[in-house]
Amino acid sequence: MRAFAFLPLLVGSCVVLPVLAANSSPEAGKWLSKLAQAERQQNYQALFIYERNGSFSSHQIWHLVHDATSSERLLRLDGDVQEVVRVDGRVSCASGDLTSVVSAPGKSSANILDPLKLMSWYDLSVIGESRVAGRDAITLSLAPRDPHRHGFDLDLDRQTGLPLRSLMVNEKGQMLERYQVVSLDTRQAPDAADLQGSSACKPLASTPIRKKAALVEWRSEWLPAGFELVGSTRAQGAGPSSLMYDDGLARFSVFLEPVAAADGKDIRTQLGPAAAVSRHLATARGDMLVTVVGEIPLGTAERIALSMRWQGAQASR
């Protein structure tokens, strides 16, 4: 669920922008810096809706910064209970289906917003003003410079810089996903009870994602410019190995598992912003099923899947 991933993605440090890409606006860079600072320093609680594939859900978030420690709780308000509690980016508990998709205890794998990096792959601009959840907002565009990532329109609260709305759009400008705040309270900080997970929020097993220092046995012969390896896991038992990449905003994962030649099916599907491609490959390790999952265009995911190669265990630096 991108709504749960998008908010921590926007947590970052305030940065100074000494150099801007030619097609990026200095004003847009300043607003992204304000957003990053707000997420790091601002206490708030909010209600928001999340939309993808014509489906809506409602959620609540509590965010508290105290003595340089940030605590956050996210709760789905309709349908099956889905809940996550994080402290300084570390997942302390999760419920329902989220236990299989959020990071285990250990350093969070969430992105850190870096406007300077984003300017290499997106054109940043201020495109207007708006009003969201009864609050004045400034609207930013993050337009990709190539066909291998989606674009974003962001509405930031003019007073605090917090995100009030995010629209993910494809190359035709069609909406793939929407996150939108309907109520934001920055005056009253959440209390301890607000940040306490419910009985449905269960501690996760301690199986932290390996970082770049892990041994990497697979590589891609082609990646979209700007995407870097940020983490990996090695197969344990019958489970797949995985590689995780991001460009500072977009993210995708590659899963690799040995299969018999006749096992499994090739898959090529896109649901809203999420592409999923599975391909059988004959490799030096035998027949493998390679699956790419992430919020990237379908053709990009397929090209990545077909480019995976076995390289043996490479020692980390």
CB 234 within 8 A of CB 277: no
| Mean pLDDT, residues 180-209 taken together | 85
Mind listing the pLDDT tens digit for each residue in 29-66? 899 889 888 888 899 999 999 998 888 899 999 999 98
CA 69 and chain centroid, separation: 21
Please state, in angstroms and rounded to a whole number, the distance separating the CA atoms of residues 197 and 218: 38
Burial environment of residue 109 by CB neighbours within 10 A (0 to 12, 13 to 18, 19 or more)? buried
Domain boundary among 185, 204, 228: 185
Q: How far apart are CA 234 and CA 242, in angstroms?
A: 7
Per-residue DSSP letter, 96: G
Tokens found for residue 56: 């809506």
| CATH assignment of the domain containing 262 | 3.30.200.100
Show the domain range for 245. 216-314
Question: Would residue 242 count as lying in a domain?
Answer: yes
State mean pLDDT over 263-292. 86
User: Cβ contacts of residue 130 below 8 Å, gap of 6+?
Assistant: 137, 138, 139, 155, 165
The residue type at 158: R
Chain centre to alpha carbon of residue 29: 20
pTM for this one?
A: 0.80
Task: Assess if residue 178 is contained within a domain.
Answer: yes
Shared-domain flag, residues 221 and 180? no
- One-letter identity of residue 73: R
The residue among 168, 185, 202 that closes a domain is 185
- Looking at 21-25, 41-45, 76-80, which range is the least confident one? 21-25
State the pLDDT at residue 186. 95
Mean pLDDT score across all residues of the chain: 81
261 lies in some domain: yes
Task: For 89-142, write each residue's pLDDT tens digit.
Answer: 788 889 876 655 554 444 444 455 677 788 889 999 999 999 999 999 999 999
Give me the CATH number covering residue 173. Answer: 2.50.20.10
> How much is the pLDDT for 209?
47
Look at 23 and 151; give whichever has higher pLDDT: 151
Instruction: Give how far the C-alpha of residue 313 lies from the chain's centroid of Cα atoms, to the nearest Å.
Output: 28
